[in-house]
Copies of this chain bind each other. A is one copy, B any other.
Amino acid sequence: MRSIKVGVIGLGTVGSGVIQVLQENAPDIRQRLECDIQLKRVADRDVALLQKVQGDVIRSENAQDVLTDPEIDIVVEVIGGIEPAKTFILEAFRQGKNVVTANKDLIAIHGHELLEAAKAAGKDLGFEASVGGGIPIIAALKQSLTANKFSAILGIINGTTNYILTAMYEQGRDYGEVLAEAQKLGYAEADPTSDVEGLDAARKLAILSSIAFNSKVTLSDVYVEGISQITSEDIQYAKELGCTIKLLAIGKNPEQGIEVRVHPVLLPLSHPLAAVNGVFNAIFAVGNAVGDTMFYGRGAGSLPTGSAIAGDIISISRNIIYNATASVHCTCYNERPILPSSAFISAYYVRLSVADEPRVLASLATIFAEAGISFASIIQKTQKENQAEIVLITHPCRESQLNDALAQVRVYDKVRSIHNVIRFEENPAPT
């Protein structure tokens, strides 16, 4: 039986997950593939991590030892970050190797260049694990559903923020308290910025949108807002409106160009994504033949990410056996414009405190009407000290219209404070 040899660079959470999956499930993988997948070399600068690896494996402190081993067919890059990961991957292609990576930072910025390098070398680059952990969304978009044209892709693709928002929703707790708990449980990093400010989700959205819309989308194209401004009051109002609040990654492909944005939304409980809770992820995609689809699973973690990487290793092994590497390549054959955020159309939730006096609501309605915006619903509650809290739900409008209205609201002397402005997506991807 043929043997495909694998080298792993990086023995952190993801690297150890890949190794565990390949070793534990080796007998089944051998029978399914009719080929042996042999973990030949591992590399990490941390000697303690090297020593933890079980079995008949060559351990090295130097990534070059993996990259230049002539027997290795597939290099798994799981160190993360831009450099030296990028240099390693390009070197692997030069050395005639296929590559599997979970590196969303790198793919979201340099994915196109790396895929071109893979094609030039006649090799495969697998990156299923870069989006949605164990969820096989990239294979679905690039292969099973490739007979479709996609109009929209929506994702809950950051487990940290979904854990925080779920706990806030279910337990009525405050953002800061839940974040601290998530950090203690290991669901949030010590510096949580990349997760809570939406950058992690934006990287994954760039990758998904490039594939779904066949046009290059990179991190800098994505409009991003995080969840750190969401309060327990907002969650409570969302409940009253039959909604939950989720950090949604939204990619759309209307005639004018590509719309890519990550921000919190009020989402009706009836939407399939509203039931995606805790650290789970889900990607909802709308194709012109298949209609609405959704893919759900664990978006992170050692074994789920290891499952995705092992899946790529097995696919590439099959391609190696049949001399079919580089058969699925970069499909960004369109060059579509990226729409500016001023063109986004959305309904809005606007929560503000005003003087509890007659005619204030009428004046607000006039201000919004002058910007061409009408209200879908209004919640008003009287607070202490002659102050009323008002929640306005607008009908869909352009972001530029909303900004015009908010500029007027800010200078209206009866308005004490604009607490929050959150997009309200009643049907974020109409079929």
Contacts and interface: CB of A to CB of B under 8 A. Distances in A.
Interface in A301-348: 301, 303-304, 306-308, 310-311, 313-315, 318-319, 321-324, 327-328, 331, 333
Nearest to A331: B32
A215 B319 CA distance: 25
Interface stretch (A137-145, A184-192, A222-230): A137-145
B147 A307 contact: yes
Contact of A290 (B149, B272, B303): B303
Nearest to A292: B297
Interface stretch (A19-27, A160-168, A358-366): A19-27
Interface in A275-301: 275-276, 280, 282, 287-298, 301
A146 interface: yes
Contacts of A22: 147
B147 A143 contact: no
Contacts of A134: 145, 287, 289-291, 293
A32 B296 contact: no
Interface string A52-93: 000000000000000000000000000000000000000000
A214 to B, nearest CB: 7
A292 B288 contact: no
Among A128, A136, A290, A310: residue with most chain B CB under 10 A: A290
B298 A292 contact: yes
A323 B318 CA distance: 12
A148 interface: yes
Interface residues of A, number: 64
A297 B291 contact: yes
Contact of A307 (B31, B139, B282, B287): B287
Nearest to A37: B147
Given A31-B333, A128-B144, A333-B31, A303 B291 contact: yes
Interface in A232-289: 272, 275-276, 280, 282, 287-289
A289 B307 contact: yes
A29 interface: yes
B322 A304 contact: no
A206 B291 CA distance: 26
Given A140-B140, A145-B136, A322-B322, A298 B291 contact: yes
B25 A311 contact: no
A28 interface: yes
A225 B162 CA distance: 38
A25 B148 CA distance: 7
Number of copies: 2
B289 A293 contact: no
A156 interface: no
B149 A25 contact: yes
Contacts of A28: 149, 214
A273 to B, nearest CB: 10
A12 B304 CA distance: 41
A29 B214 contact: no
Contact of A143 (B145, B311, B323, B331): B311
Contact of A295 (B24, B128, B292, B296): B296
A135 interface: yes
Given A147-B313, A291-B297, A319-B322, 6 more contacts: A33-B146, A143-B315, A292-B297, A293-B296, A318-B327, A324-B327
4 nearest CB pairs, A to B: A136-B144, A147-B310, A322-B324, A134-B290
Interface of A: 17, 20-22, 24-25, 28-29, 31-33, 128, 134-136, 139-140, 142-149, 214, 272, 275-276, 280, 282, 287-298, 301, 303-304, 306-308, 310-311, 313-315, 318-319, 321-324, 327-328, 331, 333
22 contacts: A31-B333, A128-B144, A134-B290, A139-B139, A139-B143, A140-B140, A144-B308, A144-B311, A145-B307, A145-B311, A146-B311, A147-B313, A272-B275, A272-B296, A280-B292, A289-B303, A290-B303, A290-B307, A291-B297, A292-B297, A292-B298, A324-B324
